[in-house]
Amino acid sequence: METKAGGAGAFSRFDLTRVPSPCFVVDEAAIARNLAVLADVGHRGGAQVLLALKAFSMWSLADLVGQHLDGVCASGLWEARLAREFYSGELTTYSPAYKAADLPEILRLSDTVIFNSPDQIARFSDLIAAARAAGETFQIGLRLNPEHSEAEVAKYDPCQLGSRLGFPVSQLTAESLAGVDGLHIHALCEQGFEPLSRIWAALEPQIAGVLGRQIKWVNLGGGHHITRADYDREALVAFLRDVRARFDIGLFLEPGEAIALDAGILVGEVLDTFDNGMAIGITDLSATCHMPDVIEAPYRPALLNEAKDGVILRLGGPSCLAGDIIGDYRFAERPAPGTRIAFLDQAHYSMVKTNTFNGVPLPAIALWNSETDALRMVREFDYTAFRDRLS
């Protein structure tokens, strides 16, 4: 995969020595700009816009999110708890499968609970009925697999053959929709409007008969890179208006990356350099611990102020994993130990995926405002963060 980072932006003038290393630095002003764009699209298109917590769960910005968006979406019990503790507005919860022990609390916390298959809805009908009898109010959704692939990378394609995500639309029957108020469709990954348009064109003929009748709303999921400069936002607004007008249904969007796109960096430093067929640089940033998608996707994150000419270094982390390689980068000259570096566009997914494999320390978290230059350390982690995850 290619990085979608739009460039250094305001981070080109950020002094990397102002924070400890390693450290995530999130630009509050950039987050606010992204949120304003999303709120505008939602308002003009007549859709509710929810933050996907799975991508960006920086709850210290929950109030800012609440000023712009309609709520959040969670991926299970713990995210639903986080949502109700810190965020405001609508809460939609979806998981590929639920544990019976978790579901009563999920039903209590959520405004909408989306299931992955009709069988799950039927199997938990007694818990759903009990929650409603106790006074809880919520709607039930069903995730559909539109069976139309648009994802650029096969393993990130929710519509691939054998996908575990969503009920195949070709199997949909009237019985499948028993007790269902709305449909959920998530088939995109870091994509523009055109793939969404094609997915809907393939899906609409198969579900048009129930839209606006039994089905009250459609959730178009995430993967929409709405805040990217080249996204056709006017086409999205027109599409949303058209669907609402023709079917008289509610619409939801669940952007994750779009909220934090180009809004954060991961700061680290070079610890050592040596030669082994090429120049090698060991950093205190780990692909496997701090940026797992570098290995899982895989992709090459953009380096802040990477040189156009000079020496190439293969940068990797301090863990014992041979594959803990971030990528090959060009420097004007060979960096000395202690040199600060930063990788772009690391606010989304990286922060929520960090781990302490090998006892590698977790990055601190800082909040910066590129308009006022105010800097606040939000969180620093010590040895106990590693110790207390073990036994």
Q: Is the pLDDT of residue 90 over 70?
A: yes
- Among 3.20.20.70, 1.20.1730.10, 2.40.37.10, 3.40.190.10, what is the CATH number of 9-25+263-387? 2.40.37.10
Percent of the chain with pLDDT over 90: 94
- Give the end-to-end CA distance of the chain in Å, rounded to a whole number: 37
State the pairing for strand pair 264-275/340-344: antiparallel
Report pLDDT digits (tens) over 274-322.
999 999 999 999 999 999 999 998 999 999 999 999 999 999 999 999 9
At residue 270's C-alpha, the angle toward residues 265 and 273, to 5°, is 145
Mean pLDDT, to the nearest integer, of 43-71?
A: 98
At residue 342's C-alpha, the angle toward residues 156 and 388, to 5°, is 70
* Total residues belonging to the chain: 391
Rounded Cα gap, residues 76 and 113, in angstroms: 10
Q: Is the pLDDT of residue 234 over 70?
A: yes
> What DSSP designation does 279 have?
E
State the pairing for strand pair 71-74/90-94: parallel
Mean pLDDT, to the nearest integer, of 334-347?
A: 98
HEC assignment per residue over 287-354: HHHHCCHHHHCCCCCCECCCCCCCEEEEEECCCCCCCCEEEEEEECCCCCCCCEEEEECCCCCHHHHC
Mean pLDDT, to the nearest integer, of 168-187?
A: 96
Residue 256 contacts residue 52 (beta carbons within 8 Å): yes
1 band by pLDDT with thresholds 50, 70 and 90: low
Residue 218 contacts residue 183 (beta carbons within 8 Å): yes
Residue among 323, 330, 312, 332 at smallest CA distance from 358: 323
Residue 154: per-residue pLDDT: 82
> Residue 120 corresponds to which tokens in the numbers above?
């799950």
The CATH architecture one would assign to domain 46-260 is Alpha-Beta Barrel (3.20)
Three-state secondary-structure class, residue 90: strand
Mean pLDDT, to the nearest integer, of 127-147?
A: 98
Residue 390: per-residue pLDDT: 95
Q: Is the pLDDT of residue 374 over 70?
A: yes
Mean pLDDT, to the nearest integer, of 53-70?
A: 98
Report pLDDT digits (tens) over 182-231.
999 999 988 999 999 999 999 999 999 999 989 999 999 999 999 999 99
**CB neighbours of 234 closer than 8 A, spacing ≥ 6?**
none
| Domains of the chain, residue spans | 9-25+263-387, 46-260
The CB density around residue 274, as the number of other CB atoms within 10 Å, is 8
Least confident of 146-155, 281-290, 319-328, 344-353: 146-155
Rounded Cα gap, residues 62 and 51, in angstroms: 10
Residue 6: per-residue pLDDT: 82
Q: Name the average pLDDT for the chain.
A: 96
> Residue 131 corresponds to which tokens in the numbers above?
């929650």
Rounded Cα gap, residues 256 and 262, in angstroms: 12
Residue 73: per-residue pLDDT: 98
Rounded Cα gap, residues 77 and 95, in angstroms: 9
Q: Is the pLDDT of residue 19 over 80?
A: yes
